[in-house]
Amino acid sequence: MSLALKEPMKPTLLVSFLLHFLVLLSHATTDHDADSGSSGTSIVFTTLGRLDYAFDIFSLPIQNPPSETRETKITDGQSVNFNGHFPSPSSISLLRNRTLIRTVGGRPDAPPLQLIYVTERDGLSNIYYDEVYSDDLFPQIAGKRSALEVRNRVQIPLLDLKQSEHRASMKDKPSLTGDYLVYVSTHEESGEARTSTAAVYSTELKSGVTRRLTPYGVADYSPSVSPSGDWTAVASYGPKGWQGEVEELSTDIYVFLTRDGTQRVKVVEHGGWPAWGDERTLYFHRRGEDKWWSIYRAILPKTGPISTESVVVERVTPPGLHVFTPATSPGNKKFIAVATRRPTSQFRHIELFDLKTNEFKELTRLVSPKSHHLNPFISPDATRVGYHRCRGQENGRGSSNSKLVLQNLPSPVPEISLFRIDGSFPSFSPAGDRIAYVDFPGVYIIDPDGQNRRQVYEATAFSTSWDPVRKGIIYTSAGPEFATVSTEVDIISIDINDVDQPAVKKLTTNGKNNAFPSASPDGKWIVFRSGRTGYKNLYIMDAENGEKSGLRRLTEGPWSDTMCNWSPDGEWIVFASDRDDPGSGGFELYLIHPNGTGLRKLIQSGSGGRTNHPWFSPDGKSVVFTSDYAAISAEPISNPHHYQPYGEIFTVKLDGSDLRRLTHNSYEDGTPFWVPKRIKAVDVVWPEDKPLCEFEDLHWLNEMPSQLFGAKARFPNMTYQCGVSF
């Protein structure tokens, strides 16, 4: 395929951009199941909510009153499709001339609807270009379809991800304007803790040359290209970097030349998700002092130097509802499209905001009131608004809409196959034939093919591990997660050998937050954390009979040691600790011998950073863990709820060397387990129907600041009208 993500481009690759586009005839098949399954290992981890996402891109006409029959699904119902953008007519013409028409022999006139969007098919994010011929969308062209049409659709992946070595993330909104495809990727490592690798790239359609537009040492998100294509605006960390924010990022808005990233200048302090109204006007969102998310407008000076001083910023949308992720259409000065969260609805909806009358016009609530609709965009002729939402379960069992129990992801490390699992705290039995996991509330087991799912413990529990010697013994912590030292949590063992009545045995008895059990390789001992002294420290107890038959304190101090795992060779225990700065929320990984000697730090994610959930590799030489080491890949408000959107999966060798990032996304990845054998790299579907779309919008958007406080107290001089009562 196509354009490279490497920088700088080699001339030979430029040619391939133009020649290696593909028209997909059907759902792409993957080649990652080619491995034999003989050697290697696997890592299985959890991603909050992700396996519930079945996003497709939909659109509604703007002129007519919104109705169910007028809503058109543009994308194909495969995988997860989101962050759409209607390309500019000149870009379409260029793209078609260089690829479709010349290479594939298509006809010169463009079809009725074109879209670019991010898709996660085959586990990787890529940017696709679709041309859509649809009877219901454009009845006037029914029967006059192109020779290129395949199921009413031409579909082209725009990026060659093999060259990015599976390190790409396209989480942000792409745009195809003028001569350039502009997008964000995270594939260039920063080598610095708590530093985002999100950077904006442009690929020139004529030459196929890809350039990084973001300076090194800086993270850019949410790019928007001006109507002429000349300028790109981004939300950027600038030099100050990520401070650990997970709600609103403290980004500023910068503008630079799309051509090469030069003439970069900060235009707005504090703002995100820019969208150009015209060559001199930017709309963006910001959480104001009154705590409402609102749209603001920045007017750049016509002459003279551009800086935050010369740019005039005005608030556009009133307090009383959260308004964010604005979208514009070139030349249209009448309205913008926005996402809203109103105090009267628990769902995120798309609305238009009239810039003349300052009135909202609701769109999606009138069509599907109980779905979340995200990240709107407007067609160049301002007749349609697009957005993504969950498509739901359409085609029933066995279809691409079936929920996955294991999703295979391309792994950047060839000898490790990588999977997302539909459950938390997964652990495999020593023989690799069973998986235990948590699905709040309760502990479950399944076979690796998704069959024989069964609940083995019905109350709230977290973390699972298996006894390495005694068959069918699972350890877990019974009680609530993230609780204080004195909360009643006890280690239990669950004997699953009696299928009808799993036998539960309580191994700790004091109920002082005893959690994260992990057995020694001989099955004699369990290491766990306990809050019994008022601090969470590590202890070792008898595996079979619990603390009454033997208990030893392993670590001691006024801090939290937690999430411990015993190495397969018995030599080490790895754990997370905040002892560097107790109570700060920062966690580092430490190693200690089971006899209490040899304590040392394994890895830390900068000052105040998080490294959690450590688990040993089967050879005991590496550890897989979750960390905020790579900061955040996209503005969290552009996604559904993730408590820790920075969570990514990493591995590191026991001497602290060879840090590798395994996941690239803007979701919360966590609780990895390192499986001793290589699981065949294919997706596994739940054998029974499970509902999709059961994810939540950002919890912190439920906070609706008091209206009085918001509207009048903080903005006494602000004048605005509002046609909608809040």
Ligand X SMILES: *[C@@H]1O[C@H](CO)[C@@H](O)[C@H](O)[C@H]1NC(C)=O
Q: In whole angstroms, what is the distance from residue 155 CA to residue 80 CA? A: 15
* DSSP-derived secondary structure letter, 100: I
Closer residue to ligand X in complex, CB, 556/689: 556
Closer residue to ligand X in complex, CB, 148/698: 148
C-alpha distance from residue 612 to each of 369, 563, 628, 672 (Å): 38, 7, 9, 10
The amino acid that residue 180 corresponds to is: Y
To ligand X, the closest distance from the beta carbon of 543 in angstroms equals 18
Closer residue to ligand X in complex, CB, 555/611: 555
Which residues make up the interface to ligand X (CB under 6 A)? 90, 93-94, 97, 108, 571, 593, 595, 597, 716-717
Report helix, strand or coil for 123. Answer: helix
To ligand X, the closest distance from the beta carbon of 386 in angstroms equals 23
* DSSP-derived secondary structure letter, 486: T
Q: In whole angstroms, what is the distance from residue 711 CA to residue 363 CA? A: 25
To ligand X, the closest distance from the beta carbon of 535 in angstroms equals 24
To ligand X, the closest distance from the beta carbon of 27 in angstroms equals 30
Q: Shortest CA distance to 492 belongs to which of 482, 478, 509?
A: 478
To ligand X, the closest distance from the beta carbon of 593 in angstroms equals 4
The label of the residue with tokens 């029933």 reads 396
To ligand X, the closest distance from the beta carbon of 521 in angstroms equals 12
To ligand X, the closest distance from the beta carbon of 572 in angstroms equals 8
- Whether 88 and 409 have beta carbons less than 8 Å apart is answered as no
To ligand X, the closest distance from the beta carbon of 230 in angstroms equals 17
Q: In whole angstroms, what is the distance from residue 683 CA to residue 273 CA? A: 34
To ligand X, the closest distance from the beta carbon of 350 in angstroms equals 31
- Whether 462 and 424 have beta carbons less than 8 Å apart is answered as yes
Tokens of 217: 């040492």
Closer residue to ligand X in complex, CB, 98/297: 98
Buried b (16+ CB within 10 A) or exposed e, 583-598: eeebbbbbbbebeeee
- Whether 54 and 390 have beta carbons less than 8 Å apart is answered as yes
Closer residue to ligand X in complex, CB, 7/289: 289
The amino acid that residue 515 corresponds to is: A
The amino acid that residue 292 corresponds to is: W
Q: Shortest CA distance to 526 belongs to which of 560, 564, 556?
A: 564
Closer residue to ligand X in complex, CB, 489/591: 591
Show the 3-state SS of 236-276: ECHHHCCCCCCCCCCCEEEEEECCCCCCCEEEECCCEEEEE
Q: In whole angstroms, what is the distance from residue 304 CA to residue 310 CA? A: 8
To ligand X, the closest distance from the beta carbon of 597 in angstroms equals 5
Q: Strands, E, within 62-170: which ranges?
A: 72-73, 81-85, 113-119, 126-132, 153-157
Closer residue to ligand X in complex, CB, 206/333: 206
